[in-house]
Amino acid sequence: MIADALAGGFADPAIDAAHAFRAVMDAMARPGTIRPVAGAEPPAPLSPAAGAVLLTLCDTDTPLHLAGSLDDADVRAWIAFHIGAPIVGSDTCTFACGSWADLVPLSRYSTGTPEYPDRSATLIVEVPELTNDGAVLMGPGIRDRAHLSLPEKDAFRANARAYPLGLDFIFTSGTRIAALPRSTEVL
């Protein structure tokens, strides 16, 4: 287990993190756009894309919640070595990572306050596949309409209605990511 925890981080941390950060920012700025992200090889069941997002956005001051099967000893050891993020409960996290079934209900996560809407959680949702079909998306960063395969629609519709409060979502599958900021309307 210790040897596995030491492996799988970015080979060239500065360059790989910059590429991953750009992919995440592009995905957030253009909801529904699927982007490749590479460089991380975390232990299963954490996907390479989710590992790259965690390596890029989390650090020792970032409370992280691991949901369901991702809350295992190998993943915890990898995060402890490469990121140092404290593992916390869903009610106090800044980031949460897991499958959709393991992350719901969304009411467990902070959606910010009217004074500080940025104090909300970002959920990294591991999905089996990301495709540009399914739910119709509209809003900032989308020219007319975009499409994204979402695990459901109602939760994301309710989330958008709470704007400027709400949760932000990063979907990961294999080595690909897509994002759904709280400002995006799901039809």
- Asked if residue 121 has pLDDT above 70, the reply is yes
Mean pLDDT of 160-165: 97
The whole-number average pLDDT for the span 36-57 is 97
In the predicted model, is pLDDT for residue 64 greater than 80? yes
Least confidently predicted of 6-10, 132-136, 141-145, 180-184: 6-10
Tell me the C-alpha distance between 126 and 134, whole Å: 17
Given a cut of 70, whether residue 113 has pLDDT beyond it is yes
Of 75, 99, 85, the residue nearest 8 (C-alpha): 75
Q: What is the mean pLDDT of residues 128-148?
A: 97
Count of the separate structural domains present in the chain: 1
Decide the pairing of beta strands 168-173 and 122-126: parallel
Domain range enclosing 132: 2-186
Which structure tokens are listed for 14? 């500065």
Find, among 33, 18, 6, the residue nearest to 140 by Cα.
Answer: 33
CA distances from 77 to 42, 66, 68, 123, 158 (A): 10, 12, 16, 21, 35
Strands 135-138, 185-186: pairing is antiparallel
Mean pLDDT in residue range 75-85 = 97
Q: Quote the pTM value.
A: 0.96
Q: Is the pLDDT of residue 4 over 60?
A: yes
Quote the percentage of the chain above a pLDDT of 90.
Answer: 96
- Is 14's pLDDT higher than 70? yes
Residue 187: the pLDDT is 95
Closest alpha carbon to 40 in 130, 175, 179, 173: 175
- Span 42-70, average pLDDT: 97
Model confidence at 7: pLDDT above 90: no
Q: Could you tell me how far CA 177 lies from the centroid of its own chain?
A: 8
**CATH assignment at residue 88:** 3.40.50.11310
Q: Are 157 and 106 contacting, i.e. CB atoms less than 8 angstroms apart?
A: no
CA dist 50 and 95 (Å) reads 11
Q: Is the pLDDT of residue 5 over 90?
A: no
Q: What's the start-to-end Cα distance of the chain, in Å? A: 45
Mean pLDDT on 138-143: 97
